[in-house]
Amino acid sequence: MENIERARKPEVVLLSHTPDPERIVATAMRQSRFKGGVVGVKLTRDDIKRLIELALNLKHFSVFEHVNFTFAIEGISRSCSHQFVRHRFFSFTQQSQRYVKEHGFPFVIPLTIQSEERALSLFLKLMEDIDDAYKELSQLVPVEDARFVLPNATETKIVATANARELMHFLKLRLAPVAQWEIRALAESMFNEVSKVAPNIFKENNIKFFE
Ligand SMILES: Cc1cc2nc3c(=O)[nH]c(=O)nc-3n(C[C@H](O)[C@H](O)[C@H](O)COP(=O)(O)OP(=O)(O)OC[C@H]3O[C@@H](n4cnc5c(N)ncnc54)[C@H](O)[C@@H]3O)c2cc1C
């Protein structure tokens, strides 16, 4: 299996986010509910927590749109990224298969296949054949056409940005037990990252408030 890299689990890094995201959300909520402006208003950590809870209880979701989170994601399949990019309020930049030539293309192997000997042997044999065909085609036609033989299992890398409202909507759909295992693993990793920087917003118990 020369050059064929074995699958990895999704790797998610929170590249950047709006500074002090909870304060911004709480400030927007305060603007909505109190007389006067918000410039120079000093909110305590308790105020912030209370204002976020109020926004959630009132389903005042627009206040969550003022803060953005950007993720670098690797080790997901093209099958998973296709599901991911259906979320229209995210911004995405995905590694191009037109301009980036695969060298022994990496791929994701579902656990069910990894744990069944015959399934794994079928799967790996097919990946090897595809790899051979892709390499040969790449010498004969442009890479953008050779890529037509690459499978859904092909690993991809993607940068994704969303505001907290869209992120919570995504998490609600994709952490649910009915979601497919790979995008659920991706959603779990994303949730773990954002809950470190905005724990009062990204709480498991808060997901139910969102639509
Ligand atoms: C378990 C599961 C199975 C699925 N199976 C399939 C399948 O078999 N085939 C398939 O094609 N897709 C399938 N999907 C994808 C699904 O239909 C959605 O495209 C995807 O989940 C994105 O959700 P969304 O549209 O709510 O999200 P987003 O695009 O993130 O939009 C967020 C919200 O904005 C609002 N919104 C956005 N655009 C519009 C609009 N044009 N009009 C009105 N309101 C809008 C909606 O309230 C929407 O919920 C599946 C999803 C899940 C979770």
Ligand 1 neighbours, Cβ below 6 Å, are 86-89, 166, 169, 173, 178-179
pTM confidence score: 0.93
Asked whether residue 5 is domain-assigned, the answer is no
User: What would you measure as the largest C-alpha separation in the chain, in angstroms?
Assistant: 69
> How many percent of the chain have pLDDT more than 90?
82
Ligand 1 centroid from CA 66, angstroms: 22
Asked whether residue 177 is domain-assigned, the answer is yes
Instruction: Yes or no: say if 162 and 87 are a contact pair by the CB < 8 Å rule.
Output: yes
178 Cα nearest atom in ligand 1: 1
- Which is catalytic among the residues 23, 147, 165, 174? 174
Question: Is residue 100 pLDDT above 90, yes or no?
Answer: no
- pLDDT at site 211: 79
Cα 191 from Cα 185, distance rounded (Å): 10
CATH of the domain at 151: 3.30.1360.170
35 class by beta-carbon count within 10 Å (0-12 exposed, 13-18 middle, 19+ buried): exposed
Beta bridge partners of 48: none
Question: Is residue 17 pLDDT above 90, yes or no?
Answer: yes
Beta bridge partners of 155: 77
Asked whether residue 56 is domain-assigned, the answer is no
pLDDT in tens, 32-75: 988 889 998 899 999 999 999 999 999 999 999 999 999 999 99
Q: pLDDT averaged over the chain? A: 92
Catalytic annotation present for 174: yes
Domain range spanning residue 191? 11-18+67-209
DSSP, res 103 = S
- pLDDT at site 3: 37
Ligand 1 mutation target, pool 79, 84, 88, most atoms within 8 A of CB: 88
pLDDT in tens, 139-162: 999 999 999 999 999 999 999 999
- pLDDT at site 53: 96
- Cα-Cα-Cα-Cα dihedral sign, residues 22, 28, 33, 34: positive
Query: DSSP string spanning 97-111?
Result: TTTS--SS--B---H
Asked whether residue 101 is domain-assigned, the answer is yes
pLDDT in tens, 183-194: 999 999 999 999
Asked whether residue 51 is domain-assigned, the answer is no
Instruction: Yes or no: say if 128 and 29 are a contact pair by the CB < 8 Å rule.
Output: no
Asked whether residue 30 is domain-assigned, the answer is no
User: What domain count does the chain have?
Assistant: 1
Cα 33 from Cα 40, distance rounded (Å): 16
